[in-house]
Amino acid sequence: MVAPGDIANIALRRMADLGIPPTPENFERFYRDTESTLKLAAPLAEAFRARSELAAPEAAPVSWGAALDQFGLRLEQATGALATLIERTGLAAAPAAMPVPSSPSQVVAPVFAPAPLPQVAERQPAPAQLPREVRTLIERMDAATTEIRDALQASRAELGETRGELKSIRDELNEAREAVQHDPLTGVLNRRGMDIVLPREVARARRVNAPLSVGMVDLDHFKHINDTFGHQAGDRVLVHMVELMRSVLRETDLIVRYGGEEFLVLLPDTDMQGARLVLDRLQDIVVKSPVIHEGRRISVGFSAGVAQFRDDDNGATLVLRADRALQSAKRGGRSQVVLAEA
């Protein structure tokens, strides 16, 4: 806070620099203008101090953007006040400047006689000159504003680069996770992916009291296909089988490549009879859709076991019961769907 005596001395020095007679009226006007300018400069000093504290480790979490906006607002206010001051002090210098009082006591009770303000029309106005203190303040404000703006722009640029790098890393991690959880040949979930989605589906079925069924599907005589037509033909059969399953299943149903030629089908909101209808339909389509490989016809069939989630089940026991039903289907002659015990 600037003392009144200091404000008075600054006002008198400015009047002397501009050649304005220090009459009581002029002194009061310059005193008020100086006081207003210093009040506007005080928040700017606080903004500079806040910027310095931002650079310190113990600084409070203040937004660079908010600090810059506040500084810009204060700068505009100060500029407006200075413009008014320049307009008011743009008069020509007086013929003889009065001496500047050497102490605040001289300012409080002026000893000079009142004198009228010089009239602008009586003489040619001289170019207005900014007081040295005001010019210094403006230069410091401009330098600090430029420094803060440059630092903010650099910080924003670095933040944008960091965000881009983080997004790239996140995308790569997502791709890696998808690759780990999916079978590279068929694109369906693998055992690792099943370990993630199966507990989720079991928890959902338990939470909303909805049916959940699984079907364990095993291609019949797949080893014979590999031995007769080659492993490329076997891979083509596996891909063809997944395509047929997707044509029958809903978007909410899930396919897992459980083993070499074994697939697990997860059927949310489906009871055991509904699951059997789905697999019976799939079997009809598979029989009618042989694989053509290098001009040779390959017939495909499968056996399946179906189990429905029970209150005493978890993911592992549900799959185990479906697998046991599959073994019964294979022992019973293959190319059939067997239901697990309820």
Catalytic center residues: 261
Please list, residue by residue across 197-233, b when 16 or more beta carbons sit within 10 angstroms of its beta carbon and e when fewer do: ebeebbeebeeeeebbbbbbbbbbbbeebbeebeeeb
Distance between CA atoms of 145 and 150, rounded to whole angstroms? 8
Question: Residue 302 is inside which H or E element, if any?
Answer: strand 302-308
Distance between CA atoms of 247 and 236, rounded to whole angstroms? 17
Q: Is 142 helix (H, G, I), strand (E, B) or coil?
A: helix
Sequence-distant contacts of 165-174: CB under 8 A, at least 24 apart = none
**Contacts of 218 by beta carbon, 8 Å cutoff, 6+ apart:** 261, 262, 263, 302, 303, 304, 326, 330
**Contacts of 47 by beta carbon, 8 Å cutoff, 6+ apart:** 67, 70, 71, 74
Backbone angle region of 2, left / alpha / beta, with phi > 0 → left and psi within -120 to 50 → alpha: beta
Q: What are the C-alpha distances in Å from 136 to residues 32, 100, 131, 132, 166? A: 20, 22, 9, 6, 45
**Contacts of 246 by beta carbon, 8 Å cutoff, 6+ apart:** 255
Tokens standing for residue 270: 């489906």
DSSP 185: T
Tokens standing for residue 338: 């067997």
Tokens standing for residue 211: 């049916």
Distance between CA atoms of 188 and 185, rounded to whole angstroms? 8
Q: Is 192 helix (H, G, I), strand (E, B) or coil?
A: helix
